[in-house]
Copies of this chain bind each other. A is one copy, B any other.
Amino acid sequence: MLQKLTILGPGLLGGSIGMAVRQRKLAGRVVVWARRPEAGEQAVALGAADEATHDLRRAVADAEVVVLATPIGVMRSLAEEIKFALRPECIVTDVGSVKYDLVTQLAAVLPRFVGSHPMAGSEQAGIEAARRDLFVNAACLVTPTETTDRAALQWVHDFWQSLGGVVRTLSPQAHDEMVARVSHLPHAVAAAVVNVVCREDGQALNFVGPGFRDFTRIAGGPPAMWTEICLENRHELSRSLDALMEELGRWRTALENRDAVELQALLKRAKHYRDELRFRS
């Protein structure tokens, strides 16, 4: 058992980690740091931490583990601010949903850094949505590089597992390519479809069925957070968008040519993947 685990940024993910660690008694003390003092107090009030502070160095001093759970854009400067306050053996991990640049930069600053990405976000971004069972059965991706400390990697792997996650290990680059496809592309496309459908008039909203409702649900995430994610992963997301536009071009041509064989082939392939996915889950 750890003596002290510190979470920087008690939002949905940071708050849920705190709740899960306390429930499972994985640390003697959970400390949160938040830029706004009220946010730290709220985390304590909701059971996500034993103590809150807005003194960053005091928050991380003596911690055996620090979890970066702020927006990605803040993590780099936080790493610079904490690096001299950490114990040398302190393990640092994060929850950022894009990894390649981030892992490269954080690992250069923090010797025992291990990148993580628990795929347990939701539309709601705040601690109000935090739950101690958020990671149960969620895919938790761990993204080591060749220089990652092996003992720290093992610890972070086991940590997510002990929170109930299904842990998988991927290189940062493979991770970014994967999440561009399974997460960022669907989000961007859902937003684009909603805008196209609703743009000309509000009338379309009177006629929506369940399919379109799913698109709007996906498109409902916090715009600032998704802007950051999409920009952070812009190379891989662009590649996925290009592939999608090529595929939509196939649809366009098949419609133009009244090519039922091609259309049905496109639809059958998608249904095949769906059935395979249903079989697995």
Contacts and interface: CB of A to CB of B under 8 A. Distances in A.
A274 B219 contact: yes
A197 B181 contact: yes
Contacts of A224: 264
B271 A188 contact: no
Judged by DSSP, the binding face of A is: helix
Interface string A98-130: 000000000000000000000101000000000
Given A191-B270, A192-B248, A264-B227, A208 B255 contact: no
Contact of A179 (B207, B227, B269): B207
B185 A197 contact: yes
Contacts of A228: 260
Interface in A177-195: 178-179, 181-183, 185-195
13 contacts: A181-B197, A182-B197, A183-B209, A186-B212, A193-B244, A195-B269, A199-B243, A216-B270, A220-B274, A221-B271, A224-B264, A238-B252, A238-B255
Interface string A242-260: 1111011101100110101
A271 B191 CA distance: 8
Nearest to A187: B211
Interface of A: 119, 121, 139, 141, 168, 178-179, 181-183, 185-199, 202-209, 211-224, 226-228, 230-231, 234, 237-238, 240-245, 247-249, 251-252, 255-256, 258, 260, 263-264, 266-271, 273-278, 280-281
A242 B247 contact: no
Contacts of A191: 266-267, 269-271
A182 B210 CA distance: 10
Given A192-B247, A205-B277, A208-B277, 4 more contacts: A119-B207, A196-B243, A215-B218, A248-B248
A195 B273 contact: yes
A192 B191 CA distance: 15
Contact of A194 (B190, B242, B270, B281): B270
A270 B230 contact: no
Contacts of A269: 191, 195
Given A241-B248, A258-B234, A181 B205 contact: no
A190 B222 CA distance: 22
